[in-house]
Amino acid sequence: MTKTSGKVIGVNGNMVSVEVDGDVALNEVGYILVGDKRLKSEVIRIRGSQVELQVFEMTRGIGVDDQVEFSGEMLAVELGPGLLKQVYDGLQNPLPQLADQCGFFLDRGVYLNALDRETKWKFTPSAKTGDHVSRADTLGTVPEGIFQHRIMVPFNLPDEYTVKSIASEGEYTVEQTIAELEDSKGDIHKVSMMFEWPVKRAITNYEERLKPTEQLITKVRIIDTFLPVARGGTFCVPGPFGAGKTVLQQVMSRNAEVDIVIVAACGERAGEVVETLKEFPELIDPRTGKTLMERTVIICNTSSMPVAAREASVYTAVTIAEYYRQMGLNILLLADSTSRWAQAMREMSGRLEEIPGEEAFPAYLESVIASFYERAGLVRLNDGSTGSVTIGGTVSPAGGNFEEPVTQATLKVVGAFHGLSRDRANARKYPSIHPLDSWSKYEGAIDSAKTEYARSVLFRGNEVGQMMKVVGEEGTSLEDYLVYLKSEFIDAVYLQQDSFDPVDASVSKERQEYIFSILLDIITASFDLSSQKDARDYFNDLRQNFKDFNGSEWMGEDFKKLEKTIRDLIARHKTGVVHGAEKIMAEAR
């Protein structure tokens, strides 16, 4: 088949206009020939015989009449064993190998195989000759780290097939044929361990899409208790620069109860990406005792790279996540930061001279962001097992303004909002999630009536705190002052965690439920305290013991001693339950 070619007729930043002499398709890959370089690009608009390409490399040196070759294929990724532990760029080039080949500065036009062609994998067949199979059905497995990687019928084969032959148990490379499938016309299709899939097409080879109802435990108290995330759900973490978005994502990567973590650094600053690349291979995975990279894939595009590569990295990451979901695994995809992806869309939209929307972002910004988050979900696969992709994206609004278009477009489609506060970050409160501005649509492990009561104490305490800035402590009634102290107590001992403490950095669901029951006993209690000073001293004593309690080993000797001390302190001044909390405490008992 003759491939379409064309000539460059204009260059505008990372957008190149080309006059073509045949047919091309939207999202088709083209290569611009500059000297001995072939620069990869993607078709983003077609107008008759003129097409616009977004180039994934620096466009320096491209001139009018340069030749363009179109591949006839969509922008796609390689799927197969060997993806875990890899660090890729947005085009799925393995960066360590790219650095070995190019040196300190990466050359343009160098594209490497995403999957190693030399490595041999121990294949164990599960299908037999004569079996009837269709796309996404399992032909066999190979061990990949702690997982059994399913070798599946490629998703791009549309028909039902009969297995004519299947490889015996043994070691094979990803390119070797492991099965021959016969279609209804009698044609034979050779299948290897790897295949390609277009990144902008969602993988939908499952039996049923289910409603996410099971909570994803992140082991971050403020999230799991007050702002839960569902397995297969979506959440966003907007916040100003320096508020702790990247740190929070790294903690969730390490502790969340998922099988595989995929980090899409889609335009984060280079320094923070380097920090991620250095730390992940050294972080010990609590689940396996090995390094966290054993079950992690990193897609890396810093803000200094071409804008088009930011968009590619987002779609590359979510396609790999969907691929592992098809194996019945639970995936956590963290995109950091989607604001720079949106900025790349704004830049390209401007070059295309499209009618701008709010703040010059493209008018279709909301639909593009929605289509990305919609690729999350919990699904029932053809074999009856379930798999999930949970997507969490950070947003970096300028000046911490949550009213800007990217944040608002994201809030319309996600199930939970974990808004970071500059004031809380400056006060060294970690995580700096604002407990009053944030929300979640998902059900958590702790009864919502109890958590809503705790939130009401936070709201009322905040109001008293604002009033105290005007009238002072002496002008505040003892009853209001106790509400204020209770809200500060919740913030200090439950909403904040010590990420350097080996115990407090990661809190299990069981421990959260146990600790929250004690916390609830304190904030619902009425106390016999004679003055603001007595109340302040009492809560300071409680707070210090509770913080030590948080750092003690679960159900160890220190844990039990501190629990007794805290319960004795509560009993010393408790006279009953405050009005409005009677029903909650009755149900708690």
Would you say residue 154 lies in a domain? yes
Nearest to 36 by CA among 12, 11, 66: 66
Report how far residue 15's alpha carbon sits from residue 31's, in angstroms, rounded to the nearest whole number: 13
Residue 251, pLDDT score = 87
Q: Give the position of tokens 């070059």.
A: 351
Per the model's pLDDT, the better-predicted residue between 102 and 514 turns out to be 514
Q: Is residue 108 part of a domain?
A: no
> Residue 191, CB half-sphere, CA atoms under 13 Å: how many?
35
pLDDT of residue 269: 63
Query: Which residues sit opposite 29 in a β-bridge?
Result: 42
Same domain flag for 358 and 456: no
Structural domains in the chain (count): 4
Q: 150 and 129 in one domain? A: yes
Q: Is the residue at 562 inside a domain?
A: yes
| Last-in-domain residue among 440, 474, 490 | 440
Q: Are 401 and 465 within one domain? A: no
Please say if the pLDDT value at position 2 is more than 60.
yes
Residue (of 284, 330, 278) closest to 300 by Cα position: 278
- Residue 277 sits in a domain whose CATH number is 3.40.50.300
The answer to whether 7 and 65 have CB atoms below 8 angstroms apart is yes
Domain presence at residue 528: yes
What's the pLDDT band for 303 if we cut at 50, 70, 90? Answer: low
Annotated binding site: 239-246
Q: What is the DSSP string of 360-415?
A: G-BTTHHHHHHHHHTT-EEEE-TTS-EEEEEEEEEE--GGG-TTSHHHHHHHTT-S
Tens digits of per-residue pLDDT, 514-553? 999 999 999 999 999 999 999 999 999 999 999 999 999 9
Q: Are residues 179 and 289 in the same domain?
A: no
Mean predicted confidence (pLDDT) in 178-184: 94
Examine the pLDDT at 1 and tell me if it is beyond 60. no
**Of 440, 475, 499, which closes a domain?**
440
Residues 423 and 502 occupy one common structural domain: no
Bridge partners, residue 297, by sequence: 262
User: Which of 124, 115, 125 is closest to 84 using CA atoms?
Assistant: 115
Percent of the chain's residues with pLDDT above 90: 77
pLDDT in tens, 382-429: 899 999 999 999 999 988 889 999 999 999 999 999 999 999 999 999
Summarize pLDDT for 58-88 with one digit per residue, the tens: 899 999 999 999 999 999 999 999 999 999 9
| Least confident piece of the model among 221-225, 355-359, 486-490 | 355-359
- Assigned domain for 543 exists: yes
pLDDT at 106: 78
CA distances from 475 to 177, 457, 466, 486, 536 (A): 81, 20, 13, 18, 15
Q: Tabulate helix, strand, coil % of the chain (nearest 5).
A: 35, 25, 40
How far is the C-alpha of 390 from the C-alpha of 231, rounded, in Å? 6
Q: Domain of 239?
A: 206-440
Other beta carbons less than 10 A from residue 440's beta carbon: 20
One domain for residues 388 and 505: no
Assess if residue 102 is contained within a domain. no
Higher per-residue confidence, 500 vs 456: 456
Beta pairing, strands 147-152 & 138-144: antiparallel
CB atoms within 10 A of CB 156: 12
Domain CATH code at residue 478: 1.10.1140.10
From 193, 227, 253, the end of a domain falls on 193
Decide: 442 and 415 in contact? Cβ < 8 Å: yes
Cis amide bond preceding 337, omega within 30 = yes
Residue 382 lies in a domain: yes
pLDDT attached to residue 159:
80
309 has a pLDDT exceeding 90: no
Q: Which two tokens stand for residue 259?
A: 């099988």
Round to the nearest angstrom and report the end-to-end CA distance of the chain.
75
With bands split at pLDDT 50, 70 and 90, how would you rate the model's confidence at 270?
Answer: low
Q: Rg (Cα) of the chain, in Å, rounded?
A: 28
CATH number at residue 9: 2.40.10.170
334 and 386 housed in the same domain: yes
Residue 291 lies in a domain: yes
∠ Cα 86 89 92 (to 5°): 70
Mean pLDDT of the chain: 92
Contacts of 27 (CB under 8 A, 6+ apart): 42, 43, 44, 74, 75, 198, 200
Helix, strand or coil for residue 208?
Answer: strand
Mean pLDDT, residues 138-153? 96
Asked if 191 and 154 touch (Cβ cutoff 8 Å), the reply is yes
pLDDT at 392: 96
Q: Which residues of 208-230 are buried (b: 16+ CB within 10 A; e: fewer)?
A: eeeebebbbbbbbbbbbbbbbbb
Q: What is the average per-residue pLDDT within 559-576?
A: 95
Q: Which two tokens stand for residue 458?
A: 């936070």
Question: To which H or E segment does residue 206 belong?
Answer: none
CA 47 remoteness from chain centre: 36
230 lies in the same domain as 326 = yes
Q: Let me know whether 476 and 352 are in one domain.
A: no
- Asked whether residue 398 falls in the same domain as residue 457, the answer is no
173 and 134 together in one domain: yes
Q: Which two tokens stand for residue 133?
A: 């199979």
Q: Mean pLDDT, to the nearest integer, of 547-560?
A: 96
- Cis peptide leading into 431, omega within 30 of 0? yes
Given a cut of 70, is residue 304 above it in pLDDT?
no
CATH number of the domain at 157, please.
2.40.50.100
Binding residue ranges for ATP: 239-246
CB atoms within 10 A of CB 64: 10
Lowest mean pLDDT among 279-288, 453-462, 467-476: 279-288
Lowest-confidence range among 166-180, 366-380, 443-457?
A: 443-457
Helix, strand or coil for residue 341?
helix
Neighbours of 60 (CB within 10 A): 8
| % of the chain residues with pLDDT over 70 | 97
Residues 434 and 562 placed together within one structural domain of the fold: no
